[in-house]
Amino acid sequence: MMMLLGLLTMTVLVLVPFMLASARHVLVRLGRPKWLCRLLRARTPRSGMGVGATVTDELHAFLNAGKRVQIERRQEQLALRDDTLDGAPPRMGIDLDAGTAVVRKGG
Protein backbone atom coordinates (compact mmCIF):
# COMPACT_ATOMS: atom_id res chain seq x y z
CA MET A 1 0.00 0.00 0.00
CA MET A 2 2.85 2.40 0.88
CA MET A 3 4.59 1.62 -2.39
CA LEU A 4 1.43 2.47 -4.33
CA LEU A 5 1.06 5.71 -2.40
CA GLY A 6 4.70 6.61 -3.13
CA LEU A 7 4.25 5.84 -6.82
CA LEU A 8 1.10 7.95 -6.96
CA THR A 9 2.88 10.86 -5.25
CA MET A 10 5.81 10.66 -7.66
CA THR A 11 3.42 10.57 -10.60
CA VAL A 12 1.60 13.65 -9.39
CA LEU A 13 4.83 15.54 -8.70
CA VAL A 14 6.34 14.80 -12.11
CA LEU A 15 3.57 14.20 -14.63
CA VAL A 16 1.09 16.91 -13.65
CA PRO A 17 3.58 19.82 -13.99
CA PHE A 18 4.92 18.23 -17.18
CA MET A 19 1.44 17.98 -18.69
CA LEU A 20 0.61 21.56 -17.70
CA ALA A 21 3.88 22.86 -19.15
CA SER A 22 3.25 20.91 -22.37
CA ALA A 23 -0.26 22.32 -22.72
CA ARG A 24 1.06 25.83 -22.08
CA HIS A 25 3.76 25.37 -24.71
CA VAL A 26 1.23 24.20 -27.30
CA LEU A 27 -1.09 27.13 -26.58
CA VAL A 28 1.71 29.69 -26.87
CA ARG A 29 3.00 28.11 -30.10
CA LEU A 30 -0.45 28.05 -31.69
CA GLY A 31 -1.21 31.61 -30.64
CA ARG A 32 -4.90 30.95 -29.98
CA PRO A 33 -6.80 32.20 -28.06
CA LYS A 34 -4.85 35.43 -28.13
CA TRP A 35 -5.94 36.63 -24.68
CA LEU A 36 -4.69 33.43 -23.06
CA CYS A 37 -1.38 33.56 -24.94
CA ARG A 38 -0.81 37.14 -23.77
CA LEU A 39 -1.56 36.08 -20.20
CA LEU A 40 0.80 33.09 -20.39
CA ARG A 41 3.62 35.14 -21.91
CA ALA A 42 3.20 37.84 -19.25
CA ARG A 43 3.52 35.25 -16.47
CA THR A 44 6.61 33.61 -17.95
CA PRO A 45 9.78 34.39 -16.00
CA ARG A 46 12.39 36.28 -18.03
CA SER A 47 15.12 34.06 -16.70
CA GLY A 48 15.15 30.82 -14.86
CA MET A 49 13.09 27.70 -15.18
CA GLY A 50 9.41 27.01 -15.14
CA VAL A 51 7.58 25.07 -12.47
CA GLY A 52 7.80 21.75 -14.29
CA ALA A 53 11.56 21.95 -14.71
CA THR A 54 12.03 23.00 -11.10
CA VAL A 55 9.95 20.08 -9.81
CA THR A 56 11.82 17.65 -12.04
CA ASP A 57 15.19 19.01 -10.87
CA GLU A 58 14.19 18.76 -7.21
CA LEU A 59 12.96 15.19 -7.66
CA HIS A 60 16.19 14.31 -9.47
CA ALA A 61 18.17 15.94 -6.64
CA PHE A 62 16.23 13.87 -4.11
CA LEU A 63 17.30 10.69 -5.88
CA ASN A 64 20.83 11.78 -6.88
CA ALA A 65 23.15 13.78 -4.60
CA GLY A 66 25.22 15.01 -7.56
CA LYS A 67 22.22 16.88 -8.93
CA ARG A 68 21.85 18.75 -5.62
CA VAL A 69 25.44 19.98 -5.98
CA GLN A 70 24.69 21.10 -9.55
CA ILE A 71 21.57 23.03 -8.47
CA GLU A 72 23.43 24.75 -5.62
CA ARG A 73 26.29 25.67 -7.97
CA ARG A 74 23.81 27.20 -10.44
CA GLN A 75 22.29 29.30 -7.63
CA GLU A 76 25.76 30.45 -6.56
CA GLN A 77 26.61 31.51 -10.12
CA LEU A 78 23.42 33.58 -10.32
CA ALA A 79 24.29 35.34 -7.06
CA LEU A 80 27.94 36.17 -7.92
CA ARG A 81 28.97 39.54 -9.32
CA ASP A 82 30.93 40.05 -12.51
CA ASP A 83 33.90 42.24 -11.69
CA THR A 84 36.33 43.61 -14.25
CA LEU A 85 39.22 42.54 -12.04
CA ASP A 86 38.02 38.94 -12.25
CA GLY A 87 38.37 38.93 -16.03
CA ALA A 88 34.68 39.47 -16.74
CA PRO A 89 33.77 41.75 -19.64
CA PRO A 90 33.31 45.30 -18.35
CA ARG A 91 29.75 46.58 -18.14
CA MET A 92 30.77 50.07 -17.18
CA GLY A 93 33.85 52.18 -17.17
CA ILE A 94 34.65 55.71 -16.09
CA ASP A 95 37.52 57.65 -17.63
CA LEU A 96 38.10 60.69 -15.44
CA ASP A 97 40.79 62.16 -17.70
CA ALA A 98 38.56 62.20 -20.79
CA GLY A 99 35.38 62.96 -18.80
CA THR A 100 33.44 60.00 -20.24
CA ALA A 101 31.45 57.19 -18.70
CA VAL A 102 30.40 54.02 -20.48
CA VAL A 103 27.51 51.89 -19.23
CA ARG A 104 26.50 48.74 -21.10
CA LYS A 105 23.25 46.92 -20.54
CA GLY A 106 23.88 43.49 -19.01
CA GLY A 107 22.66 40.66 -21.21
CA–CA separation, 13 vs 62, rounded Å? 12
Chain segment 54-87, per-residue pLDDT in tens: 777 887 888 888 888 998 998 888 787 666 566 5
Q: In the chain, count of helices (H) and strands (E)?
A: 4, 2
Contacts of residue 67, Cβ cutoff 8 Å, sequence gap at least 6: 57, 60, 61
Q: Is the pLDDT of residue 7 over 70?
A: yes
CA–CA separation, 35 vs 41, rounded Å? 10
For residue 87, what pLDDT is reported?
A: 59
